[in-house]
Amino acid sequence: MALLEIQNLAAAYGPVPILHKIDMHVEQGEFVGVLGHNGMGKTTLLRALMGFVTTTAGSVKYQEREIRRLPTYKRARMGMSLVPQGREIFPNLTVMENLTVGILGKKGSLDRIDEMLEFFPRLRPLLDRRGGALSGGEQQILALARCLCNHPSLILLDEPTEGVQPSIIQEISEVLQELRVKQNLTIVLVEQNLDFILGLASRIYTISRGVLDTEIPIEEIQDSAMVAEYLGFGN
Amino acid sequence: MLRAISKDWLGAGFVTVIGLAILFFVPVLFDLFEVLQMTKYVVLALFVLSLAYIWGFGGILSFGQAGFFGLGGYAFAVSSINMGQTTVPFLIAIAVAALFAAALGYFMFYGRLSDVYLGVVTLVVTLILWKLINHTAGPEYVIGTARLGGFNGIPSIPIMTLPWQPDQEMEPSHMFQYFMAILIGVYVLLHILIKSKFGRIAISIRENEVRTGLLGYDVRLYKLAIFTIGGAIGGAAGAMWATYQTFVDPNIFSLEWSALCLIWVMAGGVGTLFGPMVGVLALEYLSFQLGQTDFINNLIIMGVILIFLVLLLPKGLFPTFRDFVTKHWNRRHE
């Protein structure tokens, strides 16, 4: 049974329909990518899955439970976690406070933060610094670490490489691979960075004008020219 | 991290020590009139803490904080006249204001009102209370032995007594010390709350509700708790105001009180607890001094000062001073 099963999902911003008839399934431990140009509905898809964009039809099942009408915080408590585009850390809280807020409840919180600092050693000397004073890449790492603090079973990543220096993109990529293997994490990644997504995803959907129109076969994923063709990038 | 924690607590400790020094030395060093004047500032400082907390650390901008102040005042007046003591009525005043805040907050936060509408609703509710109390002048508006009195207000409210000496009214100097102790206690408790996990989540909500919800927190519940705490503090201040004046009238609910509360917080500095208390002291003292002159209307001068404050010190008095000192300290120790 799929960890996440989406059927015929539609979503809208007020009266404007954005997503149409989305069908998608994600198995436990899978790394699924969603590729698409700007404005095609990638971010809206993730927001709809987390419950803060109105869904107008269809079904979203997570761990075999219908969650389409659940509020955002309940979805988060069930183990779904979104790392939004643009990092969205709390700029006036310190790195340590950002991580602490990321843990629901108090049990084992310091141990979990320590564990995260093992994964992201770059954050250790920055613990007292305010989130807003970090570089874009460091903020992205903090956002990812904060999300992981709460032991999510499904992570929705929205363009984590946007505006981030290449060395940090590499670091993020390595940590995600490691987490996937060690913690059997399931990840849905929305990206425009073809190389980043190809290096991680085991399956890729393409999205165009609010419709998931293609699922690129696994055997074709490593062929970036082929993927670009699917997207109409014309490599 | 330890450095950051100790820096935070050092500031709060410093404020507490200053507060304790004021508590002990003011009654000794100043005459009765000045002690009474400072008692008023202490009550207003507690009132401003109610808004400083919910606005500065929870992002809830209430335009109707006077509603809780007034409810606390009236609840204390009615219950103390009926019970003939002040300790239980003081607790009743806090509970009434907190319950009202919780009920109002429930409809606002669970009704998903946006910030602008929240401001409007709090303001309108306060004005409704003002109007309502104004229309209770008739003899039929009696609770026990306490007549509400409509626009005439409730006179002869008992003076505060100590819990263990319910028959002995406090001397003005003792009342000052008692109120000062309450102010220090509330300040310390709020500081502890802000530094707790609850406080950090509240600040997260202030910065971005959606992000906080994404982390699994029920934002509505947290906002309700923050708003209720603010209401309780406002109610306590209202009760203290009622016993300090031994009189309360519907003007306690007026727009003027809500506006003053906002101005004190803005002038002192949003996002701090100490700043708004400084704001109360500075502006009320200034207003008092200007009130003694007769060459120009003091409201005009106050208005001009406030415009300059907002334009030149948008962060407020205390944060501007703190940033200035920190900058020069860092420069000297580089």
Condensed to tens digits (0 to 9), the pLDDT of residues B290-333 reads: 777 766 777 787 788 888 888 888 888 988 988 888 888 888 87
Q: Are B47 and B237 contacting, i.e. CB atoms less than 8 angstroms apart?
A: yes
Secondary structure letter of residue B252 according to DSSP: G
Tens digits of residue pLDDT in A81-136: 999 887 778 998 999 999 998 888 766 677 888 988 988 898 999 999 999 999 88
Q: Let me know if residue B122 belongs to a domain.
A: yes
pLDDT at B174: 94
Q: Let me know if residue B301 belongs to a domain.
A: no
pLDDT at A80 over 70: yes
Per-residue confidence band for A229, with pLDDT thresholds at 50, 70 and 90: low
Question: Rounded to an integer, what distance in angstroms lies between the CA atom of residue B296 and that of residue B117?
Answer: 38
Q: Are A54 and B112 contacting, i.e. CB atoms less than 8 angstroms apart?
A: no
Q: Do A77 and B200 touch (CB under 8 A)?
A: no
Mean pLDDT of chain B: 91
- Name the domain count of chain B: 1
pLDDT at B2 over 50: no
CATH of domain A4-231: 3.40.50.300
Q: Let me know if residue B263 belongs to a domain.
A: no
> What kind and span of H or E run contains A25?
strand A16-26
Residue (of B42, B55, B3, B24) closest to B190 by Cα position: B55
| Cα separation values, A182 from A119, A185, A201, B32, Å | 11, 8, 16, 72
DSSP string, A88-153: ---TTSBHHHHHHHTSSSSTTHHHHHHHHHHH-GGGGGGTTSBGGGS-HHHHHHHHHHHHHTT--S
Q: Are B81 and B243 contacting, i.e. CB atoms less than 8 angstroms apart?
A: no
pLDDT at A177: 85
- Angle, helix B115-134 to helix B255-268, in steps of 10 degrees: 140
Cβ atoms within 10 Å, residue B307: 10
Q: Do B197 and A100 touch (CB under 8 A)?
A: yes
Q: Which residue has the tokens 């219950």?
A: B79
Question: What percentage of residues in chain A have a pLDDT greater than 90?
Answer: 34
Residue A210: left if φ>0, alpha if ψ -120 to 50, beta else—which one?
left
Tens digits of residue pLDDT in A123-177: 999 999 999 999 888 898 999 999 988 889 999 999 888 878 888 888 888 888 8
Q: Let me know if residue B288 belongs to a domain.
A: no
Mean pLDDT of chain A: 85
Residue (of B180, B227, B232, B169) closest to B202 by Cα position: B227
pLDDT at B261 over 80: yes
Which residues does A64 contact at the CB level (< 8 Å), separation at least 6? A1
Per-residue confidence band for B36, with pLDDT thresholds at 50, 70 and 90: very high
Query: What number of C-beta contacts closer than 8 Å exist between A and B?
Result: 62
Burial pattern A88-103, b for ≥16 Cβ within 10 A else e, equals bbbeebbbbbbbbbbb
Q: Let me know if residue B267 belongs to a domain.
A: no
Q: Do B210 and A93 touch (CB under 8 A)?
A: no
For residue A107, which residues of chain B lie inside 8 Å, CB to CB?
none
Nearest CA in chain B to A149: B215
Residue (of B3, B15, B10, B5) closest to B275 by Cα position: B15
Question: Burial level of A4, CB count in 10 A (0-12/13-18/19+)?
Answer: buried
Per-residue confidence band for A223, with pLDDT thresholds at 50, 70 and 90: low
Q: Let me know if residue B170 belongs to a domain.
A: yes
pLDDT at B78: 97
Q: Do A90 and B213 touch (CB under 8 A)?
A: no
| Helix, strand, coil percent values for chain B (each to nearest 5) | 75, 5, 20
- Mean pLDDT confidence for A205-226: 74
pLDDT at B3 over 60: no
Question: Rounded to an integer, what distance in angstroms lies between the CA atom of residue B319 and that of residue B313?
Answer: 9
| Cα separation values, A43 from A208, A210, B48, B271, Å | 12, 10, 42, 33
For residue A91, which residues of chain B lie inside 8 Å, CB to CB?
207
For residue B3, which residues of chain A lie inside 8 Å, CB to CB?
128
Chain B residues 208-247 with CB within 8 Å of chain A: 208, 210-219
Per-residue confidence band for B93, with pLDDT thresholds at 50, 70 and 90: very high
Q: Do A100 and B200 touch (CB under 8 A)?
A: yes
Provide the residue range defining the domain that includes B165: 2-255
Distance from CA of B92 to the nearest CA of A (A): 33
